[in-house]
Structure 1
């Protein structure tokens, strides 16, 4: 028999995260395009981002039939948060007379995210932006595929803090940290130290 689930954060009721999820407003609009394989992931940080930001939307799928409408909300200019050739380094975007960004964020493994771009040519054609090098992930349960590799939620927090400084979006990470602590507690300190700390 399955455990009762919170309909909002999709966690078991006994481990509901809703009290830790903030309600933050951003000038930047965030559009999260989540590969279906991520929905059941234990962390599902894209969902945490969408729940914590009032100006965010989460869509799940591989092909998005209404993508042209999604990418062109009135009053915004779309940017794809994804590294690659020609990606512009994100810096403070403070000019009040310029349009705020629609930050489009593919959510999935690198392979699945690239598949989303391949299946949705409108995405691949967007101007790309990327974070400065040297970011450190707080995801202590997974070896990052490379330097600067962040979870979707961490990447969004860092991007918003660059674009909208001095505003702080750190509270979005509270449920993320709680999830990681819960997973470490469930596996036991010895297992965590043996399998994760020794390999750091």
Structure 2
């Protein structure tokens, strides 16, 4: 018998995070393309980001037939947040910068994210932007595949902090931090230290 689930944050009702999810405005529009395997993941950080940002959209799938319309909202230019040799570092908006950015963020393991690009040539063809090197993840429950590897919500927060400085988007990380703390508490200190300490 499965536990009752919150229909908004998809967490068990007893561990609902909705009270911690902010409602933040951003000039940047964020489009999250989520691999279906991530939907029921315990740490569905893309969903937390989409719920906490008023100018964000979460679309689940592998092949996105409506990509042309998703990538071209009026007044925005699309950029893919994904590493590449020719990826440009993100920079803060000037006061009159137009058009604004549509930040397209694939959500999944690195392998699944690459698969999304492979299956959607329009996505793969977008100009790429990247985060500054050396970011440290707060995601203490997972071995990062390399230095600077962040969860989806952390990458979005870091990107928005750069683009929209000095506005802070730290509040987006509150439910994420609570999720991590809850999982550590559930496994107990001994298990946490053995596996992640």
Q: What is the TM-score when the length of structure 2 is the normalising length?
A: 0.99
- The residue number in structure 1 matching 2:108 is 108
* 1:4 pairs with 2:4: yes
Contact 2:75–2:98 (CA under 8 A) maintained in structure 1: no
Distance in 1 (CA, whole Å) between partners of 2:174 and 2:22 is 8
Which consecutive segments of 4 or more residues in structure 1 shift more than 2 A? Answer: none
Distance in 2 (CA, whole Å) between partners of 1:14 and 1:45 is 18
**1:95 Cα shift?**
4.4
Distance in 1 (CA, whole Å) between partners of 2:94 and 2:189 is 45
Distance in 1 (CA, whole Å) between partners of 2:95 and 2:87 is 20
Matches within 5 A, 1:180-199: 180-197=180-197
Computed over aligned residues only, the root mean square deviation of the Cα atoms, in angstroms, reads: 0.7
Contact 1:94–1:163 (CA under 8 A) maintained in structure 2: no
Contact 1:64–1:120 (CA under 8 A) maintained in structure 2: yes
- The residue number in structure 2 matching 1:173 is 173
Distance in 2 (CA, whole Å) between partners of 1:95 and 1:165 is 11
**1:102 Cα shift?**
0.2
Structure 1: segments with no counterpart, 5+ residues:
none
Q: What is the TM-score when the length of structure 1 is the normalising length?
A: 0.97
Structure 2: segments with no counterpart, 5+ residues:
none
**1:90 Cα shift?**
1.0
Matches within 5 A, 1:71-150: 71-150=71-150
**Corresponding pairs, count:** 197
Distance in 2 (CA, whole Å) between partners of 1:97 and 1:137 is 30
Contact 1:135–1:149 (CA under 8 A) maintained in structure 2: yes
**1:108 Cα shift?**
0.3
Distance in 1 (CA, whole Å) between partners of 2:121 and 2:112 is 15
